[in-house]
Structures are given as structure tokens and as C-alpha cells.
Structure 1
Amino acid sequence: MQTATAERYLDMYHRFVGGSAIGSPVEVTLEELADTLYCTTRNVKLVLRKMEEDGWIDWLPGRGRGNRSRLVFRSDRDTLLLDIAQKMAQRGDYKQAFELIHSHGEGTSVKERFSEWLDLHFGYRTETPDGKREVDTLRLPVHTPILTLDPAEVYNAFDAHMLRQIFDRLVQYDPTTNRVLPMLAHTWECNADATVWQFHLRKGVRFHHGRELTADDVIFTIERLRFGKSHSWMLRTLVKLEIVDTRTIRFELSKPNRIFHRFMSSAAVSILPRDLVLQDEERFWKCPVGSGPFMATEWTEDRFVMAAHTGYFMGRAHLDGVVIAFMPDSQGDCSRRSWEKLVWDHELPDSKAEEDWQTVETLCKGCTMLTWNLVKEGPQRSPQFRKAVDLLIDRNAMIRELGGDRMYPAQGFRPDDSTPIRRDSTDFNRALELLREIEYDGTPVTLLARGVHAEDAEWISKRCAEHGIRIQVLSIPKKKAEVFDYSEVDGIIYGLVFAEDDVCEIETYEQVGSYLKEHLDPDMRRWARDQVDLALAAPSTEARRVHLASIETRLREEAHVMFLTHKKVNTSYQPGIKGVTMSPFGWIDFKTVWVQSSK
């Protein structure tokens, strides 16, 4: 079946069938058909002949002047539409499939049936594409696009998660043990005041295109990151970078940094192949090459495809491939499951029974928050106004009414042991007193929210309106790739995930484009940087936390930021699926997933 011809059949069906039944003649002219198919009458005859050969129609041309032709539709529209959509999805054209159903399936059950089929299409499956070798593939649909795979410019948690599949860093941070572990570097050391660091590279690490990784690649990556990039802040104290020998790199810093090795575990410092980037950088980022457990093979508007890096130095992934399908936002209500967190082996017995599925529930190391813009004129410049809004927001009520993955009220960046029992600090009377003190006159403020955070923004707007505060919500679809001018709004609601803990916390104060940093007034920004420098020089973890906590405390007490909620992540999978672990960004770690045979 030719998809293009089938789509033309659906166009004709949509225009001419109306209330007629399948098999009933419909009077038409070649000119009407040409108008419907946007082609010449000659091409219409070719299309009709092909449809007759396929048995979809009977074409009875009119004879003589004034005699109209008759067209008999033989194929059921819904069955054909579903079949075409499924074939599109199997090719990876998910967006086109949904658009086709949207155009031709209104008022039918095709959308629901297609969604049920997708539940079977997605997940873990063993296939034999060549009829011989078994290939284990995980297909995962997401409503979150990949905006960039350039480590130096990455902002989103999902982008950072995907970077970790393709690239490696000098070291890796294990948040469960709070330890830095070897990766591309097998060992490292620093001097007494942590201003000189040396990293020693492993032998035999190869990029996906086959070349061995060298110290030149590390130097190139660091120098590229050093100036003019979103993450250049990580190297602001770097004064000298040199190759000591073929496998040793030395960093000299102007100020002590006792967690500099933790900086080197960030996705932003993923090591790039110098030769390929210099050869054609624009082409490189269309399908980047790293040394990680998976190599990118295709990146289109509809999907991102990876294949296992069979020579990976830390052990080959159990999966042979991963397909990330980018789903339209408007189709999110079709699914009967949370596709983003689904791992499902279709070959296991009773694969449709969900009662015995296992669930891993984790609490995200981060929060949703509202950052006030203090460099723009408006009511939000007043500490009393900001504090009043904070006191009006009943976070427990927000969690009850909005539900979803919202778990606990947040009073800081990360949850701790007391988070589940901590009381919210709502105080309506005090909030109204503060508004009267500043003689608030109802001047509106604007809140920017992207994607899922728009729901929180609308909820806050309604609650504030009950007490005379006008908040206008500017909602931006999460698939919008362009950067909005955040300097033009009074506040932004967004989420933070701390994958590297202290490093990610420092990033919120230092990164170019960080909403929090750009919204702080200059004095507060300078003070925060001084505290960061003291934290980096601190002799112990406890001392470092004191300085970082002082920034967070001031942000909360002066209401520069409103911490809103901590969220959970649920991953459901069958008992036969093994190795399901979550990355620090809250997504499935693709490298460790495997299936236990049911034989």
C-alpha cells in the first residue's frame, strides 16, 4: 500500500462520501477531483487507476455531454486511516501520523485505537530486522524535545540526560555516596590549597568514529567552553591549562576550588572529538559523536535514534538501540500510561497485565520555583509585595488541587528528611497587612511559564486575584525552542533538577541565562558570587554548605525566590525487566536496562 495514494483516498473520502455508505455510487467530475487532490485531471486519472488496481474504488466515467462520472468507495476510512498512521509510526514519522489522524479522524475512534496501538509499539522489544540477528530496542515516546546536544549550551534536564548517553566526562559524581568516581580520567590530584589540579587519562578510550581519545581532545573541549558559552562560568578562575604529558592535563586556578573535580563531572564538560568539530561544526551538531555508551545515528523532527557503542570502555550497554519519539503536546491525553517512564517487554507472558508491574518512585533533587525580576520596574521590586505573594500561596492546597507529580511543599532547592512533615507558612492576614503597608494599587504583574509550569502559574494567579493581586500569565509551549526575553516579565515559574548537587546549585547563581542570576539585582549578585568563592575554598563539606545555605536563606527570607513544590518520578515496569535505575535527571538510565528471558 502506497501511503501517498492512501492519503489521497482519504482526501476524496472526506469530501465526497458525506452521509453515503461504503459501496454507494457518488457522482463527481474530474475537475472536482482535481480540485480536491490539487493536481491536473491527467494526474487524477493516474491516481484513480492505481486505486482501482488496489481494489479501493470503482470508477465509472460518464459518457457524453452532461453525464457525470460515478465513484464507488470500497475501503473503510477508519481501517485505512489507522493502517496508514501505524505505517507512518513504524517509519518513525510520529508527527505526520498524528497530523493525519487529526485531519481525517475527527468524530471517529481512530485516535483512541491508534493510541492503544502505540502502547504496544513503545517499550522494550526484541526484533530480528534481518531475519537472523536479534536486536533489543527500547522505544520511548516523550513530550519533551531535545533542544541542543552541545554540552556548552545545555540548559534542560532531558538534554543533559541525553548528553550522558553520547558523551563522557573526565570523572563522574555518584550522588548516593557523595563520591567522585573515575571515568575518562582514572585518577587525579590537587595541591594543598586546591588551585592546581591534574587529571590522568585512561588508555584505549575510543570515540564512536574509532579514533582514540587524547589529551588534545580535553584541551580543545575546555578551551571551547572557556569563553562565550552558557557554562563558561565553570572556568572563570582558570588561568592556565596545559598538557603535562600525553595523558596528563593540568589546570591552574586563580582561587581555591576544592570541588573542581566535581565541576569536571558536569554534562557541560563532556569531552568532544577535536578533529570532527573542527572539520565541520555545523554538521557535527546535527548528529554528534562522543565516546559514551550510545552513538547517535539519526536526529529528525520526529525522533532521535541511538545505537549501542559496542566498544565502550566501561562495558557495552545491554540494549542494542534506543528510539526517542517526540510526541505532539496535543496528543498527551491519548495515552493510557505515562509513556515517558515506561519500560515494557512485549515478549513476556501476560504483558498487558499491569497489576504486577513494579514501580520505582523517586523524589527529584530539586524543586519548582518562582523567580522575581528585580532589575525591572514594577510591584515585584518591593520586598513586602513579594513576601505577601509568598504568604498567600498555600502549597499544600496547590498539591491537593493540581495533583500530578507534585509531592511536598518546598522551602528550599532540595528536599531533606523533614520535607514530608514540614508545615507551610501561609498567612493571609499578614499578607494583606504587607500590601496595605506599601499601598498596593492593583498594578498587574506578569508571570512567564513554559509547558507544565503554566498550570502552577494559573493556580497562583487565581489565588492572588482573590486578595486583589492581579497576575497575568504568559504561557509558552515547552516545544518552543527560541529563548524568551525574560527581562520583559516580572517573574518566571520553572523547575530545577540538581544532578551534581552543589555544582548545580552554584550554576543557578553563575550560569549565563540562568533566570535566578539574571533577575537578581547587581548587589545581590556580587554578594552571592563572594559566598560561592568562600564555599569553594571551604576546607570541608559542612563548611561549604554553610556558605551555600546562606545564599538560599537570604533568597527565601527576602523573597527573591518563591520555592513552590518538590516533585516525584514514577517508573513502572514488568518484573522481567531488570537494571532499571534513574539518572540524576529523573530519566531511565538506558545503559543498564536489560530483560530476563522467560524461557
Structure 2
Amino acid sequence: MLTATLHFLELRRYFADHELQEPFHTTVAKLTEIWHCTPRYSKLIIRKLCGLGLVQWQAGQGRGNTSLLTLVGDFDNILLRESKLRMEEGNVTEAMELMNRFGGYETKERFRNWLSEQMGFSTRTVLNTLQDTLQFPVYRKIFTLDPGRVYYAFDCHVAGQLFNTLVEYNQEQRKVVPCIAHSWECSGDAREWIFHLRKGVMFHHGRELTADDVIFTLNRFLRNPGAYEASWMFQDIEGIEAIDSRTVRIRLQEPNYLFLRFLCTVQASVVPEDVMRNKGAEFELQPVGTGSFRMVRLDEGICSLEAFQTHFRGRPHLDRVEILIFSGVESGYFGEPDWTVVMSSHGDTSQKHRKVLGDGGGVWLDVETLFSCCNLLVFNQDKKGVHNRLLFRQVLDHIIDRERIISELGEDRIHPAYGFRYQEGGQVKGAESSPKLDDSQLISLLAASGYRGEIFRLAVGSFHYADALWIQKQAERYGIKVEVEVIDRIEEGEGGYMSSQHDARLFGSVLGNDEVSELQMYLQKNYLLSAFDQPTFEAVNDQIRQILREEDEGKRQHGLAALEQILRDTTAVLFLVHKKSNASHHESVRGVSINAYGWLDFHTIWFHPQGAHRKLVH
């Protein structure tokens, strides 16, 4: 049906000046030009369209004579119907391409309003059973769901719904709690760890998890560290063995008081050895885990999750989660969301959630306000250039006026950044700003830095493109030529994110409220490592070794503060602005829990039937 519809839409658009039900003259030759096909195939298409009641055709007599064509089908309604059908089938990209290609303003608005109504919570009848579904849009693609390879916050979040770790970190209690392992022991010197696995932990493909899967998971990082950016967390492992099918012993080369916390990260999620060996690279987009949801569909337009009925903690309350992927659409495309939806502004630059909260529509409850993202400018010391010089970096630091970025770009940019995390009252200790310099002073210092008009090549992820353009424009005022290139990580291949062709990279860091995510910034190759010259690299590594061997958490926090000060002193990294993420939910939504990535955990959400006006979809 779509092919015939497409042919009709192409025909109607070409003959847009002709009224419906009014015959007009044309030729088969003209149709071949419109459809880019042979005369014979054009005649087949016309017969098909006539059979569907979309056109009427009266063939001309003799070679070269014109025929009469009558357009019967309502262009806008047919386009709207087909776009809705594609969307309902989960063919999001196809539906959007169809609407963007043929839709006028009014039709696009009708489609947008219809889409907005579909978002949120609905109850559908499937095989005579009510099925609770949460559907919501995201404006980013999913790169990988292999937990060992995840990089972006949203990928980490989705992987966290599909997999489980040996142990988990409870953000509220600030302690490690059981998960796949129901119990564990540690030697006095923090070098030997023994984990006791739960019975009956099942993978989505129906096999029970054993100690061999845990060993296989960790050995991935040890045997091929270059393939896994999180391998630094497990570099201290000296040996792993299965005492029996449900007991694992891990020995470390040196004491590491954060090792248990490393095992809580999404990257340490246990994967099934048999599936990994069979699927290889396909596992990244066809994941099989033990999580409370299992993957049923993933393509460029949709990610569909279903409740895992036999999850060891009990099945989720939700039956299905549908994530519609609009990676080529601006955030804020949709109208106001259905009032039963759980809303988070994470990544939503439209800020429409604020209007919803203000306009009412029931009682909305704030979960928390998160300063979840800090924009960073990271210089590439692996490449030779003027950016290697401290004075040039200091000049650029002065040129980038954080307050102006916030006032001019607005949206979710809230505070100037002086460190990874926002602190009430503004600056962190040791981050005192230098006196402001006027333009003549900056131009003089720029000349002294050795800058001679070279192109400063800046790589940026698509999420932070506006910030990069602002810096480019501001730098041009002082004669610095900045070339901005959008490079999302998936395009970089095995070489890592930072290309040898770029002088710096602008990206956002999303840190959980814990030590591990901060250490990750220094040790994982796709974050800050390229910013360190040899003396800085050695100073950072020495400080990290002390942190890992320190049992007292307070002293570890002092060590992390010292690491951050190294970045400020060397201007190896420029902290730009903090971005804010609000999370709110309607009173009918229960079991709301916000994870370290600023997203909602799907496992615990449920909807109170007396408070929510459910959308019944049959």
C-alpha cells in the first residue's frame, strides 16, 4: 500500500495546481518523468491507483495523444493516514520522512498534534488482556546497548533496564546493596572478594546465570582492554575463578577500596557467555541480559522493551516501554505531553515541561532538580599546535564568557561551571576566577602566546553544537579562526572519540553523585586523557593511585578535589556551564525513581487508576 500511496503523493504534488475531481490532459511520457520509470510500468501504476480509487484515467487514442487524468483521493488525509499507519507499526523514520517530504504546514501540525496525544501512558487490549504501555520520544540515536561499550547517558540508562550487575549502589542510602550476588565477603586488605550468586537468575533467552558468565564478563575487559573503554576499572584484577557454579572469587594485585563500586556500574553488567560468542558484534543492538525488561525491537526509529516475566526481583508493573527515536528532529517538536506522563527535561531544550507544570492539569510533584550535565572544552595534547601552550588556553578561557553563554543561549544552561558539579553558592573552593581582561589585553596576550592565525579545529557532539557555534563567533572577534565539526562517537570507529585532526573537543559530562563517575572522567580514554601532557598525566595518575588505596571516603573526596584543581591550574580542561534537568510527575504516577543518568527507572513505575485518565487503545 505504501508504494501505491507514494506514487499518488508524487503525482498529486506534481499536479498541485489542479483541483480534485476536475479532469485534465496529460501523457504517459509525463508520468514516466514524474515517477522515473518506463512507460510500461507507468501504465501499471495508473491501473493500480485507479483500482484503489485514488485517480481516474481515460487513455488517449493513438500514439502521442493526451489522456485525461482525474485526481480523486484527498492528498492531505491520505498522507496523514499513511504517516499514522507507519508510526503505529513502529516505522518512525519512514513516517517522518513521508510527512517531511509531502506535508504542508497544516498537515504537519495535525500529525504533530496526533503524535503528541500518543505520548505518555496508555492501556491497550492485547489478546484480551489489558497491557500498560509507556511511550515517549527521545531526540538522540542509540549507539550501542552492549553494557561493556556504552558511552552516552541514555545508552547507559537503557542498558541498565536490560541488564543487572553483581551488586548495586543505592544513591539514597549511599551504600552498596545486593543484586545478582545476594552476599559477598572481602579480605581485610581489600584484595580478595568472594561473591555468592542468587539461584534462579535467568537470562532473557531462558538460561540460568552461572559463575562462568560472571568470569566471562570480567575477562572481556582483561583480555581485550583496548576494545572496552571501561577496562580501567578492572585493571587491578589478578585472577578470577569459580569456586562452584554460584560462587566467584576475585583476587586483586593491590588493595582497591572502590572495586565494589566499580562492580555496580552499568559497564560491569553480567552478559551471557553463549549469546556473546554466537552474536559477536550483533550483540550491541540485539542485547540479551537478565534485566527487568527485554529487548523486542530496535531500529533507527524505535526501541521497544517488554517486561521480563521471570525477573528474579519480580516482573515490572509496566508491560511495555516504547521509545520513539527522533534523532533528526528538534527537541520540543511535540505539543504538550499527556498529563499522565512522567516528565524529565533531560535533553529537552524546549523547556515545555515548565509550562505544563504552571498550567495545571492535575497535581504535579517535583522529584528533584538535577545539575546533571557540565559542558567541557577538552584540549588535545596528542596533537601539536598552539593549543599546547598554556598562555593560549588561558586567553581562550578569558574569551569564553560563561555568563553570556547562559544569557544568550538560555534554555537549560543555568550556571557557570568551575568544576564538574554545581555547588550551591557558585564557585568551588580553589576555583577563584582571574580578574577580567579588556580586549586590548587579550589581543596582546594572544600575540604573546604565539598564535599566528592558525585554524583551531573543534570537534563537538550534536547535542552541544550551539555552544560550539557561540565559541566560534566569540573567538572570531579576537582573530582566532575556529572550525567546528560535528562528530558523534559512532563515526570515530576504533580510534576513539578525539581525532588527531582536532585541537579540542566540546562535550557534556553527566556524573552520578558518586566517586566512580568522576574517576571515569580521568581514566577512560574517551574523556579527558587526551588533555594531559606527560607531567599532568603523571600527576593525575599518582593522585588516583592514592585515592584507590584510601579506605576513608572523606580523604578520597579530598583527593578528587585535588584532581579537579590540577585541571584548573593547567587549563587542560575548561569548565563551561552547568545544565539543569528537572524531573516531575503527576500524582497518579507512583514508584518514581530517578537514576544517576537523570532518567526514570522503568521497573518501579506504576499508574494509579483513580488518578490517571487512561487512554484506552483497542
Q: Is the Cα–Cα contact under 8 Å of residues 451 and 478 in structure 1 kept in the other structure?
A: no
Could you say which residue in structure 1 is the equivalent of 2:279?
Answer: 280
Quote the residue 1:190 is aligned against: 186
Contact 1:262 1:500 in 2 (8 A): no
Q: Secondary structure at the match of 1:515?
A: coil
Q: Choose from 103, 115, 118 the match for 1:118.
A: 115
SS in 2 for 1:208: coil
Deviations 1:119-167 (A, max 9, x none): 012221111133x101111112211111111122221111111110100
How does the TM-score come out when normalised to structure 2?
0.89
Indicate the residue corresponding to 2:346 in structure 1. none
Structure 1 pair 426–29 and aligned structure 2 pair: CA distance change class (3 A) = farther
Residue of structure 2 in register with 1:583 after alignment: 595
Deviates further, 2-11 or 288-297? 2-11
Give 1:4 deviation, angstroms: 2.1
Match of 2:541 in 1: 529
Q: Which runs of 5+ in 1 are unaligned?
A: 345-349
Match of 1:395 in 2: 402
Question: Counterpart of 1:347?
Answer: none
Shift of 1:391: 2.2
Correspondences of 1:130-169 after superposition (within 5 Å): 130=127, 132-169=128-165
Match runs of 1:398-547 below 5 Å: 398-419=405-426, 427-429=436-438, 431=442, 434-435=445-446, 437-438=448-449, 440-476=451-487, 482=493, 485-499=498-512, 501-512=514-525, 514-547=526-559
Q: Which of 53, 67, 70 lines up with 1:69 in the alignment? A: 67
Q: Secondary structure, in 3 states, of the residue corresponding to 2:599?
A: coil
Judge conservation of contact 1:486–1:515 (CA < 8 Å) in 2: no
What is the number of residues matched between the two proteins? Answer: 588
Give the drift of 1:361. Answer: 4.9
Aligned residue among 359, 368, 393 for 1:386: 393
Q: Unaligned regions of 5+ residues in structure 2, if any?
A: 344-355, 612-618
CA distance in 2, matches of 1:564, 1:204: 48
Q: Tell me, in whole angstroms, the C-alpha distance in 2 between the residues paired with 1:172 and 1:281.
A: 27
Tell me, in whole angstroms, the C-alpha distance in 1 between the residues paired with 2:509 and 2:561.
17
- d(CA) in 2 for partners of 1:11 and 1:465? 45
Aligned 8 A contact 2:592 2:604 in 1:
yes
Output one character per residue of 1:40-79: Cα deviation in whole Å (capped at 9) or x when no partner.
4444344333333332222122234553111111122111
Distance 2:206 2:8 in 1: 48
Counterpart among 157, 175, 183 of residue 179 in structure 1? 175
Q: 1:331 to 1:111 in 2, by over 3 A?
A: farther
Equivalence map 1:186-335=2 (5 Å): 186-226=182-222, 227-228=224-225, 229-332=228-331, 334-335=333-334
Q: What letter is aligned with 1:451?
A: S
- The 2-side partners of 1:426 and 1:303 are apart by 50
Shift, 1:262, TM fit: 0.1
Q: How many Å separate the matches in 1 of 2:400 and 2:184?
A: 48
User: CA separation of 1:166/1:48 partners in 2, compared to 1, >3 Å: closer, same or farther?
Assistant: same
> Aligned to 2:419, what secondary structure does the other structure show?
coil
CA-CA distance at 1:21 after TM superposition: 1.2
Rate the CA distance shift 1:210–1:268 in 2: closer, same or farther, 3 A: same
Q: Tell me, yes or no, if the aligned pair for 2:117 and 2:337 is still in contact at 8 Å.
A: no
Letter paired with 2:193: W
Q: Which moved more, 1:236-245 or 1:425-434?
A: 425-434
Report if the CA contact (8 A) 1:195-1:252 is conserved.
yes
Instruction: Name the amino acid aligned to 2:514.
Output: D
After TM superposition, the structure 1 stretch with the greater mean CA deviation from structure 2, 409-418 or 398-407, is 409-418
SS of alignment partner, residue 560 of structure 2: helix
**CA contact under 8 A between 2:210 and 2:245: conserved in structure 1?**
yes
Deviation at 1:264, TM superposition (A): 0.1
Pick aligned residue for 1:561 from 559, 573, 594: 573
Aligned counterpart, 2:22? 24
Superposition CA RMSD, Å = 2.7
CA distance in 2, matches of 1:93, 1:481: 27
Contact (CA 8 Å) 2:341, 2:586: kept in 1 or not? Answer: no
Deviations 1:442-470 (A, max 9, x none): 43322111112111111122223333433
In the TM superposition, residue 295 of structure 1 has moved relative to its aligned partner by 0.4
**Amino acid across the alignment from 2:403:** N
Identify which range, 556-565 or 323-332, moves more after superposition: 323-332
SS in 2 for 1:487: coil
Query: Aligned equivalents of 2:467 and 2:405: distance in 1?
Result: 8
Deviations 1:296-348 (A, max 9, x none): 11111221111001111122211101111111424546323589x9538xxxx
Secondary structure class of the residue paired with 2:182: strand
Deviations 1:85-130, CA, capped at 9 Å, x for gaps: 111111111111111122212x442222211111012221111133
How many angstroms apart in 1 are the aligned matches of 2:80 and 2:94? 13
Contact 2:498 2:530 in 1 (8 A): no
Q: 1:361·1:568 contact (CA, 8 Å) conserved in 2?
A: no
Find 2:380's aligned residue among 366, 369, 373.
373
Secondary structure at the counterpart of residue 329 of structure 1: coil
Q: 1:329 to 1:61 in 2, by over 3 A?
A: same
Deviation larger for 401-410 or 222-231 = 222-231
Structure 1 CA distance for aligned equivalents of residues 64 and 390 of structure 2: 81
Greater shift in the superposed pair: 420-429 or 314-323: 420-429
Aligned equivalents of 1:352, 1:39: Cα separation in 2: 55
CA 1:40/1:240 → structure 2, altered by over 3 Å: closer, same or farther? same
Deviation at 1:488, TM superposition (A): 1.6
Answer yes or no: is 1:551 the counterpart of 2:563: yes
> In 2, distance between residues paired with 1:323 and 1:286?
16
Q: Judging changes above 3 Å, is the alpha-carbon distance between structure 1 residues 279 and 418 closer, same or farther for their aligned structure 2 residues?
A: same
How far the C-alpha of 1:235 sits from its partner, in A, is: 1.3
Instruction: Please tell me the residue identity of whatever aligns with 1:104.
Output: F
Counterpart CA distance in 1 for 2:399 and 2:109 is: 41
What amino acid is the match of 1:22? L
**Separation (CA, whole Å) in 2 of partners of 1:524 and 1:38:** 62
Q: 1:206-231 CA distances to partner (integer Å, 9 max, x unpaired)?
A: 11122211111100111112233222
Q: Distance in 1 between matches of 2:506 and 2:569?
A: 18
- Greater shift in the superposed pair: 558-567 or 222-231: 222-231
Identity %: 35
Residues 121 and 341 in structure 2, CA contact (< 8 A), matched pair in contact too: no
Deviates more, 1:113-122 or 1:473-482: 473-482
The TM-score normalised by the length of structure 1 is: 0.92
In the TM superposition, what is the alpha-carbon distance from 1:82 to its structure 2 partner?
A: 1.1
Question: What is the SS of the residue equivalent to 1:137?
Answer: strand
Q: Contact (CA 8 Å) 1:396, 1:424: kept in 2 or not?
A: no
Q: Which amino acid aligns with 2:517?
A: C
Query: Is 1:13 the counterpart of 2:22 in the alignment?
Result: no
- Would the aligned equivalents of 1:509 and 1:525 in 2 still touch at CA under 8 Å? no
For residue 397 of structure 1, report the CA deviation from its aligned partner: 1.8
